[in-house]
């Protein structure tokens, strides 16, 4: 990346982050639903669900899935902000200036990473208040942060596609609904071996399960085995495909 591109991206990212901090309700709203789900499942359903997971701490089991739900919710705002900029003519004004064209897009991507990172920090804090405990060391924590960051980046580029391609503001964020629903059909809430055949097959062969299993193992200080490679393959695969389609949609929009 050239110095020119990096400087332009930094300036535009600062602009987007100012919008985020001026309307902090965006981050709060993104965090509220996952936190409400965590409270519901831990304090209402947790007593019954502990038997299926074979653990006394359901919040330890549940937290990784809640984090993924928060990310899936957060990227909807990226698509919304991108769509708003496109419709408001902001992109055209930026492109009339002597700046790197791709920096406009990357600013939204970096803003998504920072905003989602803040949301996840809030959820972690609530999780610790609810009794979440981990024996993970620095390397395990780096592994968790890396996987969550990669997952956020991959879904953000999906959000970019939606933001560039949507015809309405509702359409720009509606794509995230299936992503929010995916953790419910995975190992995020109960082990997959408690599910009926077809549902179990789907749960065990979709990306969220391998990511959740990897994060759970890292937090527990247990060997991650081959799950981590499956999780990374899903994240990188989604990222590469989404980035390619997003850049294609971007070039088509800017001519």
Span 10-37, pLDDT tens digits: 777 777 777 777 766 667 778 888 999 9
**Residue 170: which of 247, 76, 250 has the closest Cα?**
76
Tokens of 23: 């309307």
**Residue 103: which of 91, 115, 114 has the closest Cα?**
91
Query: Could you tell me how far CA 39 lies from the centroid of its own chain?
Result: 20
Q: In the chain, what percentage of residues exceed pLDDT 90?
A: 44
Least confident piece of the model among 63-77, 78-92, 183-197, 204-218: 78-92
The pTM score is 0.90
**What was the pLDDT predicted at 49?**
73
**What was the pLDDT predicted at 1?**
45
- 247: pLDDT strictly greater than 80: yes
How many whole angstroms separate alpha carbon 221 and alpha carbon 230? 19
At 222, is the secondary structure helix, strand, or coil? coil
**What was the pLDDT predicted at 163?**
87
**What was the pLDDT predicted at 219?**
93
Q: Is the dihedral of CA 84, 88, 90, 96 positive or negative?
A: positive
Burial degree of 139 (CB within 10 A; 0-12, 13-18, 19+): exposed
**What was the pLDDT predicted at 101?**
66
Query: Could you tell me how far CA 98 lies from the centroid of its own chain?
Result: 32
How many whole angstroms separate alpha carbon 245 and alpha carbon 223? 35
- The mean pLDDT value of the chain amounts to 85
Specify whether the CB–CB gap between 221 and 135 falls below 8 A: yes
Query: Could you tell me how far CA 234 lies from the centroid of its own chain?
Result: 13
**What was the pLDDT predicted at 13?**
78
Other C-beta atoms closer than 10 Å to the C-beta of 141 total: 13
How many whole angstroms separate alpha carbon 4 and alpha carbon 159? 26
Span 80-119, pLDDT tens digits: 888 887 776 666 666 666 666 677 788 889 888 998 999 9
Span 119-163, pLDDT tens digits: 999 999 999 999 999 988 899 999 999 999 999 999 999 999 998
**What was the pLDDT predicted at 64?**
95
**What was the pLDDT predicted at 71?**
95
Specify whether the CB–CB gap between 79 and 162 falls below 8 A: yes
> What confidence tier does 166 reach under pLDDT thresholds 50, 70, 90?
confident
At 48, is the secondary structure helix, strand, or coil? helix
Write the DSSP string, 94-137: HHTSSS-HHHHHHHHHHHHHHHHHHHHHHHHHHHHHTT------
């Amino acid at each position: 990346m050239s110095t020119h591109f990096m400087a332009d991206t930094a300036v535009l990212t600062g602009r987007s982050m100012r919008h985020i901090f001026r309307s902090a309700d965006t981050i709060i709203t993104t965090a509220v639903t996952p936190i409400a789900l965590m409270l519901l499942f831990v304090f209402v359903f947790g007593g019954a669900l502990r038997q299926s997971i074979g653990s006394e701490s359901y919040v330890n089991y549940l937290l990784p899935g809640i984090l993924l739900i928060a990310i899936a919710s957060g990227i909807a705002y990226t698509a919304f902000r991108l769509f708003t900029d496109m419709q408001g003519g902001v992109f055209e004004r930026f492109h009339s200036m002597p700046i790197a064209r791709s920096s406009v897009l990357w600013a939204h991507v970096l803003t998504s990473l920072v905003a989602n990172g803040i949301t996840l920090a809030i959820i972690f804090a609530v999780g610790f208040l609810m009794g979440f405990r981990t024996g993970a060391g620095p390397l395990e924590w780096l592994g968790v942060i890396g996987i969550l960051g990669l997952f956020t980046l991959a879904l953000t580029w999906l959000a970019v596609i939606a933001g560039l391609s949507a015809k309405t503001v509702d359409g720009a964020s509606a794509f995230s609904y299936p992503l929010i629903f995916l953790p419910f059909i995975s190992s995020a809430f109960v082990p997959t071996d408690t599910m009926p055949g077809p549902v179990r097959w789907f749960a065990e062969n979709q990306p969220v399960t391998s990511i959740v299993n990897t994060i759970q193992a890292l937090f527990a200080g247990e060997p991650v085995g081959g799950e981590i490679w499956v999780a990374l393959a899903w994240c990188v695969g989604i990222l590469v495909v989404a980035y390619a389609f997003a850049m294609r949609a971007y070039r088509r929009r800017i001519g």
